[in-house]
Amino acid sequence: MKKYIFSIAVLLSGTALVCFPEKASQAVKEAVLSCMNVIIPSLFAMMVLSELFISSGLYKAAGRPFGIIGRYIFRIPSDMGAVFLVSMAAGYPVGASLIVQAYDKKSVSREDAENMLCWCFGAGPAFIFSAVGLEVFGNKGCGAAVFISCIAANVIIGILCGIGKKLPEKSSGKTELCFSSSMITEAVCKGGVSLMKMCAVILFMSALLSIPEALGVTVHISSVLGNIFHTDPYDIYISIRSMTDITKLTAYKTNSVSFLPTAAALVSFGGISVFMQIASVCKGRIGISKMIISRFAAAFLSYIICDRLYGILYREAYISVMSDGDISIRHNPPLSSLFLLIMTILLLSQKQYGQNEKNVI
């Protein structure tokens, strides 16, 4: 039955894309600009550094100062304490990548790895402050409120995941660090591949989203839900699109203060596109069903925390958002991101050529 349903869904999607080529083309073009202006500039360097972080063994050394918190609060091995901090700083798929690599190295059990996926999950400050704070609300304080609420929700989820678990044994022995020039090239290649996969998923999801947009389904559902819950249909429209692809959140242009807690919930949830990226990273070695369920709880917690937080800490920021005036957003030039992708492809090609040449010899 699953095979039949999947086959029918693929055929219907393909037919719809043929029937609405202009909508699909426009959606993909917008997604390309989003990847060039937001995703690549904010995530590429952190993804490369995260690869070096694991391959060099530095994550164990860096995790020692946070080992007590990780061991006693989250009930994870002490040398995994820094993974949470890196996942909060680097962005959605980086935390999953670190956890999978640690699992492959037998540094963490499968159960602990699945639990860590639930709370080592975040958009990263680069995306939140630039794309959400400045572009959506025109104020960094709003981005800070979203960022803090997402971290707080993850901490709560992490504590809940650790309840009832035995205290892990204290890590012993010296941490061996290994650095070489080839590791840098390897990290750049892996980071580039991961980033291209992420962008490919975003483009694909944008194309699929154009189908209900062309049919008017999304607008109709937003209108119906708006009448039921007495909410602005536009807010619901943006929320539905963002639950599939979080980058669609940047399409929100009314700068309404009341939408900020919802934005925090959406960022904390991540969306279907992010789930697909993490599933690609895990490749079946670690289950993600627990993570998906936990993101609904995290979204609820982020909404509540942000709703309480902005009125206390960021009242002035919200007043400035509500004031009249045009907001000017400066994007990164797409040309630089394009050159970055080309250089990554050349590196991958050179590496493949070297391996082939070695095999021939």
CA distances from 234 to 147, 226, 286, 310 (A): 23, 8, 37, 22
pLDDT at 349 (0 to 100): 53
pLDDT interval class at 265 (50, 70, 90):
very high
Q: Write the DSSP assignment of 214-255 as a string of letters.
A: HHTHHHHHHHHHHHHHT--HHHHHHHHHHHH-GGGGGG--S-
**Domains of the chain: which residue ranges?**
22-321+334-352
- The region of weakest confidence among 105-119, 135-149, 287-301, 331-345 is 331-345
d(CA 346, CA 352): 10
pLDDT interval class at 353 (50, 70, 90):
very low
d(CA 26, CA 23): 5
pLDDT at residue 53 is higher than 80: no
pLDDT at 290 (0 to 100): 92
- The tokens 């360097």 sit on which residue? 45
Structure tokens at 191: 């980071």
Cα-to-chain-centroid distance, residue 11: 29
pLDDT at 344 (0 to 100): 56
The one-letter amino acid code at 219 reads: V
CB 73 within 8 A of CB 158: yes
CB 152 within 8 A of CB 88: no
- The tokens 């062309």 sit on which residue? 214
pTM: 0.77
pLDDT at 154 (0 to 100): 94
